[in-house]
Amino acid sequence: MSAVMAKASGQRVDWAGLGWAFLFFWYFSGVTQLLIQLTGTAGFAGFRQALLASALWLIPLLLWPARTRQLAAVIGTVLWLCSLGSFGYFLIYGQEFSQSVIFIMFESNVSESQEYLVQYFAWWMLPAFLAYGVGGWLLWRKVRPVYLSRPGAYLAAALALFVSLGYPAIRQFSKHDSWQGGLDNFAERIEAATPWQLVVGYKNYREQLANMQAMLAENASIPPLSNLQDVHAGKPATLVLVIGESTNRQRMSLYGYPRQTTPELDQLRDQLQVFDSVVTPRPYTIEALQQVLTFADQENPDLYLTTPSLVNLMEQAGYKSYWITNQQTMTKRNTMLTTFSKQADEQVYLNNNREQNARQYDGDVLEPFAKVLTDPAPRKFVVVHLLGTHMSYQYRYPPAFERFTDRTGVPANVTDDQLPTYNSYDNAVLYNDHVVASLIKRLAGQQENGFLLYLADHGEAVFDAPKADILGRNEAAPTSPMYTVPFILWNSPQWQAQQPRDFTAALSRAYSSSHFIHTWADLAGLRFDGYEAHKSLVSNEFRPLPLLIGNPEQPKSLIDFSLIKPKASAGELAQRDKKQGATEL
């Protein structure tokens, strides 16, 4: 850009002046993004986007150089004020500011806000804010006019506009068929920079809030279940549903994987009912949970709109409900999840990162879970929604859980390039094991009467057999790891005594989590019109049904999961390679 300006102006360009001006404007986005990079909180995308977007503020200085200092002061002050929220939020929470933060701010009352400030405020924050402001002031003192000819100034301003907004807009709109799709992605691209964090964040918050309120209104209009009966009516109980994320049971030692990725659950094995043939209907969180948490299934996918949810059911049965989530809150994709959470009596939102691929540990759920257990409500229904083993895997576990770093126990088909990702997924499973086991231990330690059930929304293919080059999930090209999920039940001694069951016959039943609400109702001792015992995994009336996977909006695309079962899992291949001496140790 500088070379073009020099040619257009016919005079020497003040490169240093341009550099100082750009650095000044970048500072208000760049400091926070630099901290994010140094702490490994998220990827490089936000840093890059903030760098490009900051070029926009050079335009008024290029067009009116005689007023450079005044313009820079006014623009800089606005940027500084807008950036304080994201800078302070990162210092307190170690997360990137997003529309989810705005949602939490508006959802919290004054008392809660004061509680948060008292809890997280530290003395070093004041000098940090002061140093941040002084840094901006020192850079402003370096800003000076850069004079170009009028054609040169116009051309330079056009280039700055193209770099900061034009190129991102063209790139995003060219990738989408719809105007709205391009606009959404363009907004997401510039959101990393100040002041767009607030502008785009507030816009997204208002849109997703409206969508959520509409869905909540529809849910409130749904009539309650008829003839509800509870065999435990009037008895104190705490029932916990832990929803995992992207966890393939074939990578858990609890299910036979040769690497010890679930040591804590392995130790609790005698207390657990481990179901080994449960699959999810869809490999995507929202689409899967729309069925898992409601009466919808693959043959009736829209029932989640017209029938009570699991939260509605439990509240109708007299349970006080809580939703603790480490998933993102108010994003376009997650509005449905937030709607489910808002059906509960109390919510705890822990993950307000702008990007899903950001460092966020599920251990954060343990403290609010312990607090919920102390609630004097006699009957409690608690949902804990984990981030689990979601990409990017290296962001899902603290350094102490990075135990798998070499080829020990790795199938020979995993290449050297794939190995770091393969290992990081196993490390994420290891940390997930710690969190789930800790939740069980805390519930057991409270001597609560009840049970805890853990299942994942879907699995994930991470260079697993039989197609070892696949990473992630693709409904159009399904493989077994995308659908095989852990399904684990822990019963308290009191609950087991009240409702004695022998689960032996049920542990290996082929089952789709699309019928989960019937299993949960059965376990909770609930009966009502619409309950179907043959769809309960643990019922004596259980009847095997096709394990339908695929997009229910295209019924002809639905297939039975049994048709894609591999001949050997990743664990079985690793064991075979070890026996044959093929695995590199």
Q: Are 351 and 326 in contact (CB under 8 A)?
A: yes
Q: What is the pLDDT of residue 406?
A: 96
Residue among 216, 215, 213, 224 nearest 307 (CA): 224
Query: What integer is the mean pLDDT of 47-52?
Result: 86
Going by their DSSP bridges, the two strands 471-472 and 461-462 should be labelled as antiparallel
Query: What integer is the mean pLDDT of 85-108?
Result: 67
Which tokens is 127 given?
């000098």
Q: Are 380 and 320 in contact (CB under 8 A)?
A: yes
Q: What is the pLDDT of residue 466?
A: 64
Q: For the chain, what percent of residues have pLDDT higher than 90?
A: 58
Q: Are 97 and 107 in contact (CB under 8 A)?
A: no
- By three-state DSSP, how is residue 348 classified? strand
Q: What is the pLDDT of residue 392?
A: 85
Q: Which residue range is the domain that position 238 belongs to?
A: 229-580
- Whether residue 296 is found in the same domain as residue 195: no
Q: What is the pLDDT of residue 426?
A: 98
Domain final position from 207, 241, 258: 207
**Structure confidence by residue, pLDDT tens digits, 524-577:** 999 999 999 999 999 999 999 999 999 998 888 899 998 775 545 555 545 544
Q: Is the pLDDT of residue 449 over 80?
A: yes
- Whether residue 179 is found in the same domain as residue 274: no
Q: What is the pLDDT of residue 93?
A: 66
Q: Which of 9-18, 25-34, 291-300, 336-345 has the highest mean pLDDT?
A: 291-300
User: How many alpha carbons fall within 13 Å on the CB side of residue 330?
Assistant: 26
- Whether residue 366 is found in the same domain as residue 252: yes
- Residue-wise over 392-419: b if at least 16 C-beta within 10 A, else e? bbbbbbeeebeebeebebbbbbbeeebb
Of the given ranges (30-34, 231-235, 362-366), which has the lowest mean pLDDT? 30-34
pTM for this model (two decimals): 0.72
Q: What is the pLDDT of residue 11?
A: 60
Q: Is the pLDDT of residue 464 over 70?
A: yes
Domain membership of residue 216 (yes or no) is no
Q: List C-alpha distances in Å: 404 to 400, 425, 426, 428, 435.
A: 11, 9, 7, 10, 18
Q: Is the pLDDT of residue 482 over 90?
A: yes
Domain membership of residue 215 (yes or no) is no
Residues in the chain: 585
- Whether residue 185 is found in the same domain as residue 252: no
- Whether residue 507 is found in the same domain as residue 553: yes
**Structure confidence by residue, pLDDT tens digits, 104-139:** 556 555 554 555 555 556 677 788 889 999 999 999
**Structure confidence by residue, pLDDT tens digits, 497-511:** 988 999 999 999 999
**Structure confidence by residue, pLDDT tens digits, 394-441:** 989 999 999 999 999 999 889 999 999 999 999 999 999 999 999 999
Query: What integer is the mean pLDDT of 380-385?
Result: 98
CB contact set of 174 (below 8 Å; sequence gap of 6+): 182
- Whether residue 392 is found in the same domain as residue 268: yes
Kindly indicate the confidence band of residue 103, based on its pLDDT and cuts at 50, 70 and 90: low
Q: What is the pLDDT of residue 208?
A: 63
Q: What is the pLDDT of residue 100?
A: 56
- By three-state DSSP, how is residue 314 classified? helix
Domain membership of residue 221 (yes or no) is no
- Count structural domains, the chain: 2
Q: How far apart are CA 427 and CA 260, in angstroms?
A: 10
User: How many alpha carbons fall within 13 Å on the CB side of residue 272?
Assistant: 22
- Whether residue 559 is found in the same domain as residue 504: yes
- Whether residue 130 is found in the same domain as residue 242: no
Q: What is the pLDDT of residue 121?
A: 62
Q: What is the pLDDT of residue 9?
A: 47
Domain membership of residue 351 (yes or no) is yes
**Structure confidence by residue, pLDDT tens digits, 238-285:** 999 999 999 999 999 999 999 999 999 999 999 999 999 999 999 988
Q: What is the pLDDT of residue 585?
A: 20
Domain membership of residue 224 (yes or no) is no
Q: Which DSSP state fits 527?
A: E
**Any idea what the CATH number is for the domain that residue 557 is in?**
3.40.720.10
Domain membership of residue 525 (yes or no) is yes
- Whether residue 100 is found in the same domain as residue 199: yes
**Structure confidence by residue, pLDDT tens digits, 314-334:** 999 999 999 999 987 655 556
Q: How far apart are CA 116 and CA 242, in angstroms?
A: 26
- Whether residue 103 is found in the same domain as residue 193: yes
Q: How far apart are CA 382 and CA 341, in angstroms?
A: 11
Q: What is the pLDDT of residue 468?
A: 76
Q: Is the pLDDT of residue 469 over 90?
A: no
Query: What integer is the mean pLDDT of 445-454?
Result: 93
Q: What is the pLDDT of residue 355?
A: 60
Q: What is the pLDDT of residue 567?
A: 47
Domain membership of residue 388 (yes or no) is yes
- Whether residue 93 is found in the same domain as residue 169: yes
Q: How far apart are CA 481 and CA 127, in angstroms?
A: 50
- Whether residue 351 is found in the same domain as residue 245: yes
Dihedral angle over CA of 25, 58, 60, 88, nearest 10: -20
Calculate ∠ Cα 170-175-179, nearest 5°: 75
Domain final position from 149, 172, 207: 207
Q: How far apart are CA 582 and CA 407, in angstroms?
A: 11
Q: What is the pLDDT of residue 493?
A: 95
Q: At 388, phi and psi to the nearest 5? A: 55, -125
Q: Which residue has the higher pLDDT, 385 or 392?
A: 385
- By three-state DSSP, how is residue 526 classified? strand
Domain final position from 152, 174, 207: 207
Domain membership of residue 321 (yes or no) is yes
Please report the DSSP string for 469-507 in residue order. Answer: T-EE--TTS--GGGTB--EEEEE-HHHHHHS----GGGT
Residue among 487, 511, 452, 517 nearest 317 (CA): 517
Segment holding 311, helix H or strand E = helix 310-316
Q: What's the whole-number average pLDDT of the chain?
A: 86
Segment holding 215, helix H or strand E = helix 196-220
